Amino acid sequence: MPIKDAFLPLVGEPSPAAIAAIDKCVAVSADFGARISALAIEQDVLVRPTVIVSSDLDNAAASEAVRSVTDVQALLKAFDRAVVRFAVRNEQKLIRSEAADAASKVAEYARLRDMSLVPVKSHDGRSEKLVELLLFESGRPVLMCPEDIATELPILFDHVLIAWDHSAPAARAVADALPMLQSAEIVHVITATDNATPEEMQSGAALVDHLAEHGINAIFESVRIDGSSIGKVFEAYVKKNTVDLLVMGAYRHSRLNEIIWGGATKTVIGQPPCWVMMSR
């Protein structure tokens, strides 16, 4: 199914990296030929007062944290500039919401879009929670744009890497990514393992055969882990081979298990090495 309706959640504070990521997300939506809908969410933040009140006055109220809101207006302005620059059909909405309510609003908007495009800060709890929410609650794929390297990211996905483990989430990710795979020049499929079994090799070959039925010429290989983590193996492969887009399933193991012991999903969400599309 072609991607014709994209969703962009705007949360947090503006920064040059965040604005660059918004710009890239809009540019990718333009390349898809998709409408992009932005939902900007103002959330309360705590700001400590900087004034000093005389000790002989009742300063109890002044010593409390002052409530303010995140500056999503600046994010919306960046979105406005980007949609004009790339001539993208768009919608936008601004809401003010508590954190718990904001989560449900984001999931509701995402369910009626083909894909969520999400700017992601490295090792940032808010970004990780947002991505996890969309993965578990939207029923739609998530395309992550790492803010740290947003200015360097391509708009076209010419080289795509599929992380394949024959799991249901990986199969879902491949199906969701078909439009991007069909337009790519190079598609690599890798399975990270130290001892590739005949079953793993057959599964990789079967995926290559399946993709060929969709007009996609893919190459399969197994990649050794060698004491590293699977997430780090993906990162190293992306950097070595100049991959534009990593496609992978999310949370093959339980989310709690990955939180406690770590796992490929947590590693990649924590610091995406390139554009990353995840499905669950």
Structure tokens at 81: 């500039």
* From the candidate CATH numbers 3.40.30.10, 3.40.50.620, 3.40.50.11540, 3.30.70.120, the one assigned to the domain spanning 5-44+71-150: 3.40.50.620
Domain extents in the chain: 5-44+71-150, 156-279
As a 3-state breakdown, the chain gives helix, strand, coil percent values, each rounded to 5, of: 45, 25, 30
Residue type, 253: H
Convert the pLDDT of each residue in 29-70 to its tens digit. 999 999 999 999 987 655 555 554 445 545 544 444 444 567
- How much is the pLDDT for 102? 72
Domain 156-279 has CATH 3.40.109.10: no
Q: Check if 5-44+71-150 and 156-279 are the same fold.
A: yes
- Predicted model pTM: 0.88
- DSSP reduced 3-state for 261: helix
Distance between CA atoms of residues 221 and 241, nearest Å: 13
- How much is the pLDDT for 120? 97
- How much is the pLDDT for 57? 45
Convert the pLDDT of each residue in 72-95 to its tens digit. 999 999 999 999 999 999 999 998
- Residues of the chain falling short of pLDDT 70: 44-69, 98-101, 252-262
- 171-191: b or e for each residue (b if 16 or more CB lie within 10 Å)? bbbbebbbbbbeebebbbbbb
- How much is the pLDDT for 262? 44
